[in-house]
Each structure stands twice: as structure tokens, then as C-alpha cells.
Amino acid sequence: MRVIFMGPPNAGKGTQAQLLQEELQIPKLSTGDILRHAIAEGTEVGKQAKTFLDNGDLVPDSMIIDIVHERLTKADCAEGFILDGFPRTVAQAEDLDQVLAKHHLSLDFVFCLTVEDEVIIERQAGRRMAPSSGRVYHLKYNPPKVAGKCDITGEDLIHRPDDQEDVVRHRLDVYAQQTAPVLAYYQQKGLLVTLDGTTSIEDVHSQIMKFVNTRTQQKDAHCG
């Protein structure tokens, strides 16, 4: 099973990708995780990527494509994979198609979670994080017991640069301009499945599994 998750920032893609990974036991590949690791390591590409991410911009294709291509050739991807956060441009989508075709593979689904901009802004702009533990709070949905302090460590919570409202709005603008056209690309290929990302996590996962199970049954029947 080869699946892509798409949608605006903080729409819940990572959560759903993780749940599907647990169901199917295939790797979840997040370019965001790869980039954050590079940033934490202080590598040259990490430093370059940090500048783009802090400003709410997309990391250039040239930095992303080689990383993803190398990852897809690993042995654990032989039975399938879940892509979270890639492709983000039509150029990346076309490049991915070429890589898959080279290995005689194809995508099964592109799941897109839709959430209104203002809901995303409320979700993300209200987040606060404890620097040492990484524990995440939300001013409205999961506030700390003491304002501005981590419940566990007592340290001051921070408002990350990429959670600032102006940066979130900019990221949504970038998504609309650069990533949304990818949806049309996959729509034309008959791969796109659009889901309401504002319903419960369990409901969204249930809908996804219905599509996945149906496709699995079709493949089993074909093989039989």
C-alpha cells in the first residue's frame, strides 16, 4: 500500500499517518522529521532549511527530492510506505511519479484532510512548548496548570517562531499557492480522496481504513 497524506499545516496529517502506519506496519516517511533532525544536528542543509521554515516558507525542491528518493529505496519500503508532507509542489509530484515508475510501482491513494484556515490558526497560534521536554500545550484546549509554566518541569513555555499567527497565515498562503495545485494533479489521476479534518480523529481514521480495506480486497482478488 502506497499512500500520501496532504492538507494544510496542522490539519492532522501526521496523526492519521501514524495511525495508518500502526495498522499496516509500513514506514511513515515525514520530510518534516527528516528536516528537523538535520536542523538539530546543525548540518549545512539543516541550517539552510531552518531559515525557510522559520519564515513559514517551503524548503526548496532540490533539498527535499534527493532525501525522499534515497529513503524510498530502503528495504523497509518494499511492501509500501506512507508519505506525510511530500509532495508539496507539482514538480515534486511529477518527480515522485518518475521514481515510482522506474521501480514499476504506483500510488494507491492521496488522502487530503480539509480544515478551514481560521480553525488552523486557532489550533497552531495557541500552542506553547516546554523547550527541554518538548511537551506541548494549548492556551485553549490544553492549558498548563500554571500560566506560562510546564506542568512537569516548571520551565517557561515558549511560543515557537513557526507557531506565530503571522507565520501561520503566511504558511497557509504558501500552501494555497504552491501545494493546492498538487490536489488537482492527483484529482486528474483519480487518486484523490478528500476528508473533513475537523471531525474526530477516530472518525477520520475509520473512513481512511474503509478505502484501504477495499483496495486490499481488490488486490487480493486480482492476485487470486
Positions annotated as catalytic residues are 13, 88, 127, 160, 171
For CA atoms 85, 86, 87, 89, the dihedral sign is positive
Question: Can you list the alpha helix ranges (DSSP code H) found in 55-127?
Answer: 61-72, 90-102, 117-125
Q: How buried is 157 (Cβ within 10 angstroms: 0-12 exposed, 13-18 middle, 19+ buried)?
A: buried
If we measure between CA atoms, which residue out of 8, 9, 54 comes closest to residue 35? 54
Residue 106 near residue 100 (C-beta atoms within 8 A): yes
Distances (CA, A) of 45 to 38, 52, 66, 95, 171: 7, 11, 12, 21, 20
CA–CA dist 124, 165 (Å, integer): 8
Query: What are the DSSP E strand ranges found in the chain?
Result: 2-6, 28-30, 81-84, 109-114, 127-129, 136-138, 192-196
Write the CB contacts of 195 (distance below 8 Å, at least 6 apart in sequence).
111, 112, 113, 114, 204, 207, 208
